[in-house]
Structure 1
Amino acid sequence: MTIKVELGTPLLARNEQAAQEIRTLCQANNIYLLNIMSSPGAGKTTLLEASLKWFKLQLRVAVIEGDIATTRDADRISAQGIPAVQLNTNGACHLDARMIYQALDSLDLANLDLIIVENVGNLVCPAEFDLGEDLRVVVLSTTEGNDKILKYPLMFQEAGMLVLNKMDLLPYTDFSVQELEHDVKGLNHGLEIFYVSASKDRGVEDWTRRIVERVVLRERH
C-alpha cells in the first residue's frame, strides 16, 4: 500500500486560519489590505515611494515591509511620514499570515483605510500564502525579460493587478509588451495591467487611482 503524505497541508491550513482572522479584523476596521509581490529588484519599494504621495492625499495608509534582513525598506517608507512595520524573515522566502497578524498589533487600525504589504522579493513562495489580503498586485520590470509569466504562472494567476515597471528602460531591452499581454491573457484574462516608470513618477497616478477606487468602494459596502 502506498501512503501519500502532503507535507505542506498542515502549514497551509494554519496559514489559512490566520488569513481568515486577518480578514475579519480588517473588515471590522474597514481596512483594505494590499499584498504587493515581485522578484528582487523589480522596483516594489520605489513604486511604493512614488505611490504613497498620491495615496496619502486621500487615504490613511500604513505599510508592512517584508525582507530577509535589514530595515532599509521600512526606513525609506517612514521617511515619508508613513507608519511602517518591518518584518524580517531571517531566511524565509515569504511572509505568512501569522506574521501579518502580529504586525497589525503595531498599527492603529482604527485610523487606517489602507495597509500595504510589501512581500519578500520572490516569484514562487509568496504566491502560495494567503495573507488575508483584498488584492494581490505583482510588479514586473521590463529588465527581467518576458519569461517570468510562464515560468511562474501561479503568481500571475492569483494576482488581480500587474504593474509593469521601468517602462523608461523599454527601448534598451528586448522586452515585448505584446508578448506580455498575450501571455497574461492566456493565464489570467481578468488581470489589470498598468504601465509605469516608478523612478520617473510616470503612470503611477493611474494605478494609485484604481486602488483608491477599490478602497472607497469597499468603504461604501
Structure 2
Amino acid sequence: MCESVDDVTQAVLAKNDGLAASLRDELARRGVSVANLLSSPGSGKTELLGRVLARAVERRVPVAALTADLATENDARRLARSGAPVKQLLTDGLCHLEARQLRGHVESWLPQDTSLLFVENVGNLVCPAAYDLGESLRIVLMAVTEGEDKPLKYPTAFGSAHLVVLTKTDLAEAAGFDESAFHANLRRVNPGVEVVRTCARTGDGVDTVLERVLAARDGGSVHRPPLAPHPHGHVHAPDPVS
C-alpha cells in the first residue's frame, strides 16, 4: 500500500522532532543554549544578528553563530566581523534547516566553550517553522516594511515564537506601518508573546535582544506558546534503511 504525501510528511517531521529532542538534551548537558532566528528574506536579520554578536563578544559571552543559506558565504563573512566564531551552512537548495544538519555542525565545529549558539535559519517563514532544531528559544523577526498583517499570513511561524523582534523601526513612519494593528494581529496567533523593537542602524534594541536570549540561557522565564501544528511544507524523503 502506497504512503500518502501526508503520511511521508508526518514521518519526516516526527523523525526530525525526535532528533531535535535528543539534541536539546545533549546541548543542555553541555551548557549550550540555542536561539533559532526565523524571518523573511530582507528583514535585516543578518545585520541585527551581527550587532548582537558583537555586543556578546564585548561582554565576553562565549557565543557562536551558524548561518544558513541556499548559496554563497556572504552572511558568514558579514557576521564574522563581530569577532564571534561563525560557520556557514549551505543547504544546496533546501529551504529550511533540520535537526540532523545542526547536530552535524555541533559535533564537528562548535567551539567547546560555547554557551550560546545563534542559528540564522534560511530566509523563509513557511518551511523553517515546521522544523524544531533543538533550540531553547525561537525568535521570529519582521521588518516594519513587511506589513502589519504578517502574523496572520504566517501563523505557524509567529504562533511558535518565544520572542518576536520588529526590525527597521526607523522606517515605520515612511512605510505607514500600523503598529497597533500589528500587535492586535500578533495577539490572535500568539497571545502574550513579547515584542522587541529594534533598529540595527542605530543599535536600538540590540541590548534588549541579547538580554532576552541570555535570560533564556540562564533559566529565566520565557514565553511558551501553545504547540503550533506542523504546516504542510517541503520535506525530504525519509533516509533509506541501511
Normalization by structure 1: what TM-score? Answer: 0.93
Give the whole-Å Cα distance in 2 for the aligned partners of 1:185 and 1:58: 36
Q: Which of 90, 93, 96 in structure 2 is aligned with 1:91? A: 93
For residue 115 of structure 1, the aligned residue among 117, 129, 133 is 117
Three-state SS of the structure 1 residue aligned to 2:68 is: strand
How much does 1:58 deviate?
A: 4.3
Partner of 2:79: 77
Residue matched to 2:195: 193
In structure 1, the residue matched to 2:213 is 211
Tell whether the 8 Å contact from 1:149 to 1:183 is kept in structure 2 after alignment: yes
The percentage of aligned residue pairs carrying the same residue is 37
Give CA deviations for 1:21-66 in whole Å, capped at 9, x if unaligned. 2112201111111000000000110110111122221410010111
Which of these residues, 123, 126, 131, is aligned with residue 124 of structure 1?
126
Residue-pair matches, total: 216
Structure 2: unaligned runs, 5 residues or longer: 221-242
Runs of 4+ in 1 over 6 A off after TM superposition: none
- 2:7 corresponds to: 6
What is the CA–CA distance in structure 2 between the aligned matches of 1:168 and 1:89, rounded to whole Å? Answer: 33
1:131 and 1:187 map into 2 onto residues whose CA distance is 21
Root mean square deviation of aligned Cα: 1.5
Structure 1: how far apart are the matches of 2:206 and 2:63?
Answer: 17
CA distance in 2, matches of 1:25, 1:199: 37
SS in 1 for 2:112: helix
How far the C-alpha of 1:151 sits from its partner, in A, is 0.7
Once the two structures are superposed, residues 10-29 of structure 1 have per-residue CA deviations (whole angstroms, 9 ceiling, x without a partner) of 21122112212211220111
8 Å contact from structure 1 (residues 124, 152) kept in 2: yes
The structure with more helix, counted as a fraction of residues: 1
The answer to whether the 8 Å contact 1:55/1:212 transfers is no
Determine helix, strand or coil for the equivalent of 2:36: strand
Gaps of 5+ in 1: none
